C-alpha cells in the first residue's frame, strides 16, 4: 500500500482550522499539522491556496484543498470509516443547507457584534434570532448528526467557544439557555466529547488573542 501523506496548514486561533482538525480526529486520520505564522503567510500557503490565500488547507498526497466545509466533505469521502454526512441524499441536502445558513446568516452577525462600536446589541439580537433557528435542525436529537457527531455538529460546534468569547469581550448575549435550551444542551454535550475537547485551544490564550483583535477592529473603524 502506498505511503499516505496528510498535512493540515492551520492557525491555532482559527475556528475553521479547528473544524478540519475535528473531522480528521473523528476519522482517526494521522496528519502532520503545520502552524502558519499569520499574518505572515508562508510561500507554501500561497502556492497551495492561490485563490483565497487562507488557512485551513489540507494537503493529501501532495494535492491541496481549501475551504473548511469542502475539506470536511472530502475527508468524509476519502476515508469511509465513521461517516460524517448521512447516506440519504435528502438528509445530506439538509445538513449542507444548515451549514450554509450558519456560515452565511449566523457567523457574519456574530462577527458584526464583535467588530461593532456602538451597534453591538442590535447585531447580537440578529445573531440570536438566526442562531435560534438552528434548533429546528436538532429536533430532539442529541447531535445534529443524530446519535453520533456528524457534519453539521463539526460545522457549528465552534460557536460554543468563540460565541462565549464574543459575549465576554463585546458585552453581548448570543447563546442563552433560556431562549435556546436545545442549542445550549447540545453545545454542553458536544464540547465535552473527549476527541472534540482535546482539540480546543486554551480559553485564556484565545480570550487574550481576541481582545487584541477586538481593539484593532473597533479602534480602526471610522
Partner 1 sequence: MAEVKLHGGLLSPFNYRVVCALKLKGIPFELIKEDLSNKGALLLKYNPVHKKIPVLVHGGKPVCESMVILEYIEETWPQNPLMPSDPYDRAQARFWINFAENKGAAVWKLFRSIEDQENTMKEILEMLQIVEEHGLGEKKFFHGDKIGLVDIAFGSIVHWLQIIEDIVGVKLFESHKFPGLHAWLKNYKQVPVVEENLPSRDELLVFFKGRYEKLQASARMQ
Instruction: Tell me which residues touch partner 1 (CB under 8 A).
Output: 50-51, 60, 63, 65-67, 70-71, 73-74, 77-78, 89-90, 92-93, 96-97, 100-101, 133, 136
Q: Are the beta carbons of 27 and 75 closer than 8 angstroms?
A: yes
- The distance of closest approach from Cβ of residue 209 to partner 1 in the complex, given in angstroms and rounded to an integer, is 26
- The distance of closest approach from Cβ of residue 122 to partner 1 in the complex, given in angstroms and rounded to an integer, is 21
- The distance of closest approach from Cβ of residue 17 to partner 1 in the complex, given in angstroms and rounded to an integer, is 17
Give buried/exposed letters for 164-202 (b at 16+ CB in 10 A, else e).
Answer: bbbbebbebbbbeeeebebbbebbeebeebeebeeebbe
Biggest alpha carbon–alpha carbon distance for the chain: 59
Give buried/exposed letters for 1-23 (b at 16+ CB in 10 A, else e).
Answer: eeeeebbbbbbebbbbbbbbbbb
Nearer to partner 1, 63 or 204 (CB): 63
Nearer to partner 1, 30 or 90 (CB): 90
Nearer to partner 1, 137 or 165 (CB): 137
Instruction: Count CA within 13 A, CB hemisphere, residue 42.
Output: 13
Nearer to partner 1, 60 or 123 (CB): 60
Nearer to partner 1, 1 or 219 (CB): 1
Q: Are the beta carbons of 57 and 34 closer than 8 angstroms?
A: no
- The distance of closest approach from Cβ of residue 163 to partner 1 in the complex, given in angstroms and rounded to an integer, is 20
Cα–Cα dist 154/102, whole Å: 12
- The distance of closest approach from Cβ of residue 218 to partner 1 in the complex, given in angstroms and rounded to an integer, is 22
Amino acid at each position: 500500500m502506498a505511503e499516505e501523506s496528510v498535512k493540515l496548514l492551520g492557525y491555532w486561533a482559527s475556528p475553521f482550522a479547528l473544524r478540519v482538525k475535528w473531522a480528521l480526529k473523528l476519522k482517526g486520520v494521522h496528519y502532520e499539522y503545520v502552524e502558519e505564522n499569520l499574518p505572515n503567510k508562508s510561500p507554501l500557503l500561497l502556492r497551495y491556496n492561490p485563490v483565497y490565500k487562507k488557512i485551513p488547507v489540507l494537503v493529501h498526497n501532495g494535492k491541496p484543498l481549501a475551504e473548511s466545509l469542502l475539506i470536511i466533505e472530502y475527508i468524509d469521502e476519502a476515508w469511509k470509516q465513521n461517516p460524517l454526512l448521512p447516506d440519504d441524499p435528502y438528509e445530506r441536502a439538509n445538513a449542507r443547507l444548515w451549514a450554509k445558513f450558519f456560515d452565511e446568516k449566523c457567523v457574519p452577525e456574530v462577527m458584526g457584534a464583535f467588530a461593532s462600536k456602538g451597534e453591538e446589541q442590535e447585531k447580537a439580537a440578529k445573531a440570536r434570532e438566526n442562531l435560534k433557528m438552528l434548533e429546528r435542525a436538532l429536533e430532539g436529537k442529541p447531535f445534529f448528526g443524530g446519535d453520533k457527531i456528524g457534519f453539521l455538529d463539526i460545522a457549528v460546534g465552534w460557536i460554543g467557544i468563540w460565541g462565549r468569547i464574543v459575549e465576554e469581550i463585546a458585552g453581548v448575549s448570543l447563546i442563552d439557555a433560556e431562549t435556546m435550551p436545545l442549542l445550549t444542551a447540545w453545545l454542553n454535550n458536544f464540547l465535552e466529547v473527549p476527541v472534540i475537547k482535546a482539540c480546543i485551544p486554551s480559553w485564556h490564550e484565545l480570550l487574550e488573542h481576541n481582545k487584541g483583535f477586538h481593539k484593532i477592529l473597533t479602534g480602526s473603524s471610522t
